[in-house]
Amino acid sequence: MAVSPEKPQQQSAIANAKQSRTFGQQIVNVLSRYTVQIALLVLVIIFSFVSSDFLTVSNWINIIQQSAIIAVVAIGATFVIITSGIDLSVGSVVAVVGMVSAQLMVNYGLSPWLAIIAGIAIGVAFGLFNGIGVAYIGMAAFITTLATMSMGRGLALADSSGQTIFGLSSQYTFLGGGYVLGIPVPVIITIVLFVVAHFVLSRTVFGHKVYAIGGNREAARLAGINVRRIEMLVYVLTGALSGLAGVMLTGRLAAALPTSATGLELQVIAAIVIGGTSLLGGRGNMIGTFFGVLTIGVLSNGLDLLNVSPFWVQFVQGVVIFLAVLVDVIGQRARMRNV
């Protein structure tokens, strides 16, 4: 039987179409995997051309110092989001820790280091409150931490009557504004915390359990993982790091403001999502969060250098979050088609 001359052409067209789809999927996978690095590189190139001050050493030190607070909080929040949770209270916790610890030192004569410890302990208490509500009572993380956010901000305002506290000791401000061998202390703290958190998340049993819970909570429970305890611990960790960030921010400002860290939760979530951590849980890493924090810092700094209104800065951050989630969704769909 004779072979139709159209069949080789059809087969060639099908092969070309498959090759085109495969190439397109590879591009999508690369974009999905390296979204944050590509975004950061593009921002650096753009701001380098539009502002002569952007690539200066002093400006980059400023970027890193300003990003340190977001980074410290984002480290803990990454653990929470990998478990498919969320913590909206971090900004309020930073504010209330700064206010209370400063008051304990200035108004009640507590030593600076005890005031710092007390501040971190307050952060732990907020994290424990969130963890118990989410893990043991079964409340939705969004609602629980939204309530805590409101309570924390209200407590910071009520405790200070809306007034700023000055007169902080140099020992207290050291964590936020000090230097060691010419390197800002917040930068040292941030790098050390990222290294430790990366090791814990990627190399320890605790980190593997965090991923397991985010991937499939019920399967993790059936595998013998104490899901409730792990969930509670990640909220406590976030609370402790938010407490540390509160002390650092107050030290950097050399004053405690009840309205400080307003909107910090948005910046933290943006950095984590841009860094590739899925809001559905089960996927993410500290390296991605690190680049996500740098991306938010570079974006905010570059727009400030261009004298862009802070309102538009918030708008642009929202757009960046949307695009990061969009690329993540497209990448997930591409991976599912390949399976």
| Domain CATH number, residue 149 | 1.10.3470
Q: What is the pLDDT of residue 323?
A: 77
- The whole-number pLDDT of residue 26 equals 64
> Residue 318: CB partners within 8 Å, gap ≥ 6?
266
In a domain, 142, yes or no: yes
Residue 104 lies in a domain: yes
- Check residue 92 and give its pLDDT: 94
Give the residue numbers spanning the domain of 302.
Answer: 35-338
Residue at 27 is within a domain: no
Tell me if 175 is assigned to some domain. yes
Structural domains counted in the chain = 1
Asked whether residue 319 is assigned to any structural domain, the reply reads yes
> pLDDT value at position 166?
86
* pLDDT for 60: 87
The confidence score (pLDDT) of residue 229 equals 96
How far, in Å, CA of 126 to CA of 154, rounded?
A: 14
**Each residue's pLDDT tens digit in the chain (339 positions)?**
454 555 566 656 555 555 555 656 666 566 666 777 888 888 899 999 988 888 888 888 888 888 999 999 999 999 999 999 999 999 999 999 999 999 999 888 889 999 999 999 999 999 999 999 999 999 999 999 999 999 999 988 887 777 888 888 888 999 988 899 888 899 999 999 999 999 999 999 999 999 999 999 999 999 999 999 999 999 999 999 999 999 999 999 888 888 888 889 988 998 998 888 888 888 889 999 999 999 999 988 988 888 888 778 778 878 877 877 777 677 666 666 665
